[in-house]
A and B are shown apart, each in its own frame.
Chain A
């Protein structure tokens, strides 16, 4: 039974959904809203939602699930919710120019972003496979639409189609896995599932349903976090989607997917820990190797960043497979650092794109240091951070992940991580070489970008460097945001 007063704790999610609906209504009255007011409303509602999240956590934060066991507001959910709201906010601030230049309606765009964020907030708090899955679908559906938002662009359209088809297939696979686990245990509630699976595994009952079920479920989740070999959709979608949407998919969407992956593996499937550790180790290694090797051969910066994001999914999975405290907080640390790095990098790409899809190749970055020192310097920071070199947040992120792996005894996985990071130096620094060493054909200085975009990139670069200089506070925060270990 549900106690109606518990709905107060859903205030952030409800508020965000209502804000999205208001934007939708405002966008469809008359000629719709203009870009700036719409972005401002979206930003303000994200800030208000963040405050409401803090308020709700203060009021009823605990590791006990409520609303009939469907929803949990623990410190893990709090950390991720705030992180997701930040990532969504930064996405909003880098979206403006694209919408204005393309002449696409901003009202629906921002409202879809907010709807996706609502789904993410529900995802990280889901404590039943049903509520996790339906909010995952809410996020995914909004993302399909956003990927195809530039209707007059062929690439955007095809990206949406490909994303939709493979996304629907992956959620079918995930759902099939859930149905088999339900058949074996008779429940979809995360806590009960863990308890019954523990009993069944110890008595050796229903081995087939459990094995096939969790494997399909995990494959569906690997699909969502874009880990190889389930990454086929990633490069095309990242290249084809409007760049702000790509940034959103690579940051917020990935964080939310990782959040439920960890929640399900740690809290629903602790009985199968040894099995999923092994599979996750394999997936992590394949992702790191494939993502980084494929990124070597790319000429398009967006496509390179797409493969790099596959590689980074592999690095984050290292922390997941440790199933230790160190591993978990390292993952949370890395997710935060990665969100800022990747949003900043895509923000820089957006500035350099003259028209909707032009200016994406490596050679477009030639001589950038002379034409726009600010852009070149910030891109340098992001590339250094993605490689994992100090003094950036990327270094400590990778360092903590590898250290956790070594401590948990997964030395060979950590080794693959270190080696692939060394490989990644080549393609990340390919851009740096272009920017600083190659002369540019066009020597006119670039006009300063719009304030919102420039300040977003500046914030991302500053945070990236700060995390590399003083990682301590964030580490403490991440350490306070753990869930029970399997």
Chain B
């Protein structure tokens, strides 16, 4: 029993967090009150961060918690509290078809699941240090990401900075009282 737990620990953690992520996602799309949906979203974000850790993406996991758990979540909560909740039901676009939603998502999962189950991969990396060592020996994950980000991916990084500036301008332009 203990042996099973120690050897399969990561797998069990995966199932735990995957379950939490899916539960959070279902909560997001099914709750009438967006406040509960936001909490479901938070659970989903944090579980996904944990799943990143299981794949040795430590830096991305931390960014996920900071940006999603800290930034985006607060933004959502602010807006939910700012707008009049009674008016929320009035902003319709395509109607409230939860049955359709259920069928659509089930069909998508079935198609993707059927296809992805057939995908064959070679063995994954066993030793996490090897993965990071691919760049230079003895590097941590954050350092490795930073090296690659600022050397190879400098151009997209710069474009992303302009993108974030535009996002800021947009939020001000649209949110400001006319």
Contact = CB atoms under 8 A, between A and B. Distances in A.
Asked if the two chains touch in their complex, CB atoms less than 8 Å apart, one says yes
Interface of A: 1-2, 10, 17, 21, 24, 67-68, 70-71, 108, 111-112, 115, 118-119, 122, 128, 130-131, 134-135, 137-138, 141-142, 144-145, 148-149, 151-152, 160-162, 165, 206, 208-209, 212
A118 B163 CA distance: 10
Given A21-B165, A144-B170, A145-B174, 16 more contacts: A10-B155, A17-B162, A68-B151, A68-B152, A68-B153, A112-B170, A119-B163, A138-B159, A138-B162, A141-B166, A141-B167, A142-B170, A148-B174, A152-B178, A208-B118, A212-B112
A108 B170 CA distance: 9
Contact of B116 (A122, A130, A160, A208): A208
B81 interface: no
A10 B159 CA distance: 11
B1 interface: no
Nearest to A130: B156
Contacts of B151: 1-2, 68
B93 interface: yes
Interface of B: 93, 112, 115-116, 118-119, 151-156, 159-160, 162-163, 165-167, 169-170, 173-174, 178
Contacts of B162: 17, 115, 118-119, 138
Contacts of B155: 10, 67-68, 70-71, 131
A131 B149 CA distance: 12
A2 B154 contact: yes
A141 B119 contact: no
B119 A208 contact: yes
B126 to A, nearest CB: 18
21 contacts: A1-B152, A70-B154, A70-B155, A108-B173, A115-B165, A130-B153, A131-B155, A134-B159, A134-B163, A135-B159, A138-B163, A141-B167, A142-B166, A145-B169, A145-B174, A148-B174, A149-B173, A151-B178, A162-B93, A206-B119, A208-B118
Contacts of A141: 163, 166-167, 170
A67 B155 CA distance: 7
Contact of B166 (A68, A112, A128): A112
A313 to B, nearest CB: 23
Contacts of B153: 68, 70, 130
Contacts of B165: 21, 115
Contacts of B93: 161-162, 165
Contacts of B119: 206, 208-209
B15 to A, nearest CB: 22
Query: B112, B118, B154: which has the most chain A beta carbons within 10 Å?
Result: B154
B7 to A, nearest CB: 27
Nearest to A102: B178
Contact of A131 (B112, B118, B159): B159
Nearest to B173: A108
Query: A122, A208, A209, A212: which has the most chain B beta carbons within 10 Å?
Result: A208
Contacts of B152: 1-2, 68
Nearest to A160: B174
Contacts of A112: 166, 169-170, 173
Given A162-B93, A206-B119, A209-B119, A131 B166 contact: no
Contacts of A119: 159, 162-163
A138 B165 CA distance: 10
Nearest to A69: B152
B168 to A, nearest CB: 10
